[in-house]
Amino acid sequence: MIAWPTEAFSELINGASAVTDTGRGLSEAQRAHLFEPFNRLGAENSKIEGTGIGLVLSRRLVELMQGGLRIESQLGRGTEATLTLACSAEAPEQIGGGSPPSQHGSLDESLHVLYAEDNEVNIEIVREVVKLRPSVALDVAESGALAFKKARRDQPQLILVDMNLGDMTGIELAQALHADPATSGIRLVALSADALPEQIDAALAMGFEDYLTKPINFRDLLDVLDGRRTR
């Protein structure tokens, strides 16, 4: 496990490119598996809490911002983490804090969103993005069958659909939703690593109102949640 003292984070915030600790460090074998989701590198046998996903998510989020996260470590000598982010000539856009006006109605009303996804890393990334919209209530279904069951029971206003679920495709899930009067009117948005034009066209023809390709552009997803994005 890598843990840095508060003063190390203060140094990073003030402009340093790296933070370093003097902890027990990592062996070569541990470094080889450092970015594997849910691999705690032996810490699961200790009293140290965690799930083994935080570092994976951190690197993924940094990569989505066109940056990089490098970890260097030696057993018994400590660890150094270097964060690199691309510079921008534009003024930063505020996407946190209060939510902007939404086409979904009053911000005092919660937008119920169901996310059908079987990849836990993708689920955690979307959860982090959704936190920027306090008016959005996110539920997750790890399979197509569970998504269909939750959609019938809970009637979400929007379903984000991974197009390659473990038990069915996104197209098959859409067909099942459209065929049931209880779910036929629910808005569908596809999230997929498959960016082939024929796949996108098939999804739109099936009634998906939008198709976001992975890695997900955070602004595009927020625009979907705000009801602002149209193809």
pLDDT of 104 over the 60 cut: no
At residue 45 the predicted structure's pLDDT band, cuts being 50, 70 and 90, is: confident
Instruction: Give how far Cα 175 sits from Cα of 150, 171, 191, 209, Å.
Output: 16, 6, 16, 14
Predicted confidence at residue 91, as pLDDT, reads 62
Whether residue 214 contacts residue 122, with contact meaning beta carbons closer than 8 Å, is answered with yes
Q: Which residue did the predictor score with more confidence, 137 or 4? A: 137
Predicted confidence at residue 101, as pLDDT, reads 47
Predicted confidence at residue 142, as pLDDT, reads 97
pLDDT of 42 over the 90 cut: no
Q: Is 111-226 CATH 3.40.50.261?
A: no
Question: Which of 14-28, 112-126, 176-190 shows the highest mean pLDDT?
Answer: 176-190
Q: Which residue did the predictor score with more confidence, 103 or 162? A: 162
Which residue type sits at 134?
Answer: P
Region label for 164, one of left (φ > 0), alpha (ψ between -120 and 50) or beta (otherwise): beta
Predicted confidence at residue 203, as pLDDT, reads 95
pLDDT of 187 over the 50 cut: yes
Enumerate the H helices of 96-143 as residue ranges. Answer: 120-130
At residue 169 the predicted structure's pLDDT band, cuts being 50, 70 and 90, is: very high
pLDDT of 105 over the 80 cut: no
Whether residue 101 contacts residue 121, with contact meaning beta carbons closer than 8 Å, is answered with no
Mean pLDDT of 62-87: 84
At residue 93 the predicted structure's pLDDT band, cuts being 50, 70 and 90, is: low
Torsion of CA 186, 166, 126, 44, to 10 degrees: 150
Residue 211, both tokens: 């198709």
Predicted confidence at residue 15, as pLDDT, reads 40
By percentage, how much of the chain surpasses pLDDT 90? Answer: 42
Q: Which residue did the predictor score with more confidence, 43 or 123? A: 123
Q: Is the pTM of this model over 0.85?
A: no
Residue 69, both tokens: 């996260």
At residue 160 the predicted structure's pLDDT band, cuts being 50, 70 and 90, is: very high
Mean pLDDT estimate for the chain: 82
Mean pLDDT of 39-67: 75
Predicted confidence at residue 136, as pLDDT, reads 95
Predicted confidence at residue 94, as pLDDT, reads 55
Q: How far apart are CA 180 and CA 163, in angstroms?
A: 20
Mean pLDDT of 158-174: 96
Domain ranges, ordered by start, for the chain: 12-84, 111-226
At residue 92 the predicted structure's pLDDT band, cuts being 50, 70 and 90, is: low
Q: Taking the domain 12-84, which CATH number applies?
A: 3.30.565.10
